[in-house]
């Protein structure tokens, strides 16, 4: 990867969550001269123990802040003058959006608009929106020839995907109307370390390790295109440094698997009986299949997924076996107390 010798200040929102934390580790390793400011509200999905090792680093700053807090965000941008903003902060779980859409509209749409306004006001050089393949809706199961391209019309199914699509449209409109230097990436399903155990892969691994049942929605035939989280992080790195302003980039693993296949792979790897699998009521509006055509980012930015699914899923399962404290603290709710403790001790001492 081409290294940019100039030091930059990068704001990463949602950095205490799954992909945001992996992205901060990636930037920290690849560009040690960069200053990273993690902005996170610490919703149920934010976990400071994930990024605890960074808190004592000189080039890392943590701001416990809601992206919807306009005054707070403006003050942060004024005082730190970021070069690049990468927006991961979001409500990200489809099932929660079906139960309670409102907070999705607040964070995913209003929050994004606050960040865009801050970028305008303080002349930020690049705003990158981390979006999702779910904005394209779904594809039929019996047409493997069809893939989402960047030209596929937006056609959302859930309150979550609708809120992400609305944010994408806002981002593009700020590019056109105000000339804001924006880019968007739309990625397929990620997996890897620090994935919150409400999502399919970590839920199945942690339930299997606890000998609990494995709830598969509907028939389990729905298909997702899985990408190892580090490959997603490398793609975003390439886009923020070399991507064309105003462009949308699809990112996918070219690795389609049905949900039931995934669950059986996990059972085999952990030597658990498939009797643990329980078919349960289907998700409302359940998207059938996602499949991404990544030709554009491969051609323009020479990105390729580097982690084969067999390796990635083996590493991921092993990570959950080796880091039981991390996810058991989440299941027990202890991580919320640990967040408070880290804020009280480490964060206050740093200041």
Q: What gap in Å lies between CA 83 and CA 75, rounded to an integer? A: 15
Q: Is 160 one of the catalytic residues?
A: yes
List the one residue from 10, 36, 54, 68 that touches ligand NAD (CB under 6 A).
68
152 binds, among ligand NAD, ligand TDX, none (CB under 5 to 8 A by kind): none
3-state helix, strand, coil in the chain (%, to 5): 45, 15, 35
Q: What gap in Å lies between CA 7 and CA 114, rounded to an integer? A: 26
Please say which residue, 67 or 276, places its beta carbon nearer to ligand NAD: 67
Binding mask of the shown chain, residues 248 to 287, with x at each position contacting ligand TDX by CB under 6 A? -----------x-----------------------x----
Q: Which of residues 33-92 bind ligand TDX (CB under 6 A)?
A: 92
216 binds, among ligand TDX, ligand NAD, none (CB under 5 to 8 A by kind): ligand TDX
In this structure, are residues 267 and 156 in contact, taking their beta carbons and an 8 Å threshold? no
Q: How far is the CB of 212 from ligand NAD (least distance, A)?
A: 21
Binding to ligand TDX by residue 96, rule CB under 6 A?
Answer: no
Which whole-number Å values give the CA distances from 210 to 199, 203, 334, in the listed order? 16, 10, 18
Binding to ligand NAD by residue 255, rule CB under 6 A?
Answer: no
Q: What gap in Å lies between CA 303 and CA 33, rounded to an integer? A: 23
Please say which residue, 176 or 284, places its beta carbon nearer to ligand TDX: 284
Length of the chain equals 351
Q: How far is the CB of 175 from ligand TDX (least distance, A)?
A: 22
In this structure, are residues 175 and 246 in contact, taking their beta carbons and an 8 Å threshold? yes
Q: Is 134 one of the catalytic residues?
A: yes
> Of 40, 63, 91, 133, which is the active-site residue?
133
# residues near ligand TDX by CB under 6 A: 16
Binding to ligand NAD by residue 54, rule CB under 6 A?
Answer: no
Q: What gap in Å lies between CA 299 and CA 281, rounded to an integer? A: 41
Q: What gap in Å lies between CA 277 and CA 229, rounded to an integer? A: 26
Q: What gap in Å lies between CA 28 and CA 220, rounded to an integer? A: 38
Cα dihedral 135, 110, 333, 193, rounded to 10, equals: 40
Q: Which of residues 118-147 bind ligand TDX (CB under 6 A)?
A: 132, 134
Q: What gap in Å lies between CA 302 and CA 313, rounded to an integer? A: 24
Binding to ligand NAD by residue 41, rule CB under 6 A?
Answer: yes
User: Which positions are annotated as active-site residues?
Assistant: 133-134, 160
Give the binding site for ligand NAD (CB under 6 A): 13-14, 16-20, 39-43, 45-46, 66-68, 88-92, 107, 111, 130, 132, 164, 187, 189-190, 196
Give the binding site for ligand TDX (CB under 6 A): 92-94, 132, 134, 189, 199-200, 203, 215-217, 222, 224, 259, 283
């Amino acid at each position: 990867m081409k290294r940019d010798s100039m030091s930059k200040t990068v704001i990463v929102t949602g950095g205490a969550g799954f992909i945001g934390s992996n992205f901060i580790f990636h930037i920290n390793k690849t560009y040690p001269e960069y200053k990273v400011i993690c902005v996170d509200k610490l919703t149920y999905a934010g976990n400071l123990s994930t990024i605890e090792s960074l808190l004592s680093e000189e080039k890392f700053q943590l701001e416990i802040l809601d992206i919807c807090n306009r005054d707070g965000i403006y003050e942060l941008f004024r005082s730190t003058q970021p070069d690049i903003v990468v927006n991961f902060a979001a409500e990200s779980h489809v099932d929660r959006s079906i139960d309670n859409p409102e907070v999705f509209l607040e964070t995913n749409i209003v929050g994004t608009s606050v960040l865009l306004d801050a970028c305008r006001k303080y002349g930020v050089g690049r705003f990158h929106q981390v979006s999702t393949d779910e904005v394209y809706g779904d594809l039929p199961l019996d047409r493997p020839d069809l893939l989402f391209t960047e030209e596929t019309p937006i056609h959302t199914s859930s309150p979550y995907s609708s809120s992400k699509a609305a944010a994408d449209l806002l981002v593009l409109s700020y590019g056109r109307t105000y000339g804001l230097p924006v880019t968007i990436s739309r990625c397929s399903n990620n997996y890897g370390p620090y994935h919150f155990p409400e999502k399919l892969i970590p839920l199945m691994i942690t339930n299997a390790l606890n000998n609990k049942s494995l709830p598969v929605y509907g028939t389990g035939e729905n298909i997702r295109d899985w990408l190892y989280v580090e490959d997603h992080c490398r793609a975003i790195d390439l886009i923020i440094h070399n991507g064309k302003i105003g462009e949308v980039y699809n990112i996918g693993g070219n690795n389609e698997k049905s949900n039931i296949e995934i669950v059986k792979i996990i059972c085999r790897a952990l030597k658990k009986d498939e009797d643990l699998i329980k078919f349960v009521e289907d998700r409302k509006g359940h998207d059938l299949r996602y499949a991404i055509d990544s030709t554009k980012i491969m051609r323009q930015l020479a990105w390729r997924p580097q982690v084969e699914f067999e390796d990635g899923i083996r590493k991921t399962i092993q990570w959950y076996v080796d880091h039981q404290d991390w996810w058991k603290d989440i299941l027990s709710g202890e991580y919320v107390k640990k967040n408070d403790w880290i804020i009280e001790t480490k964060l206050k001492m740093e200041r």
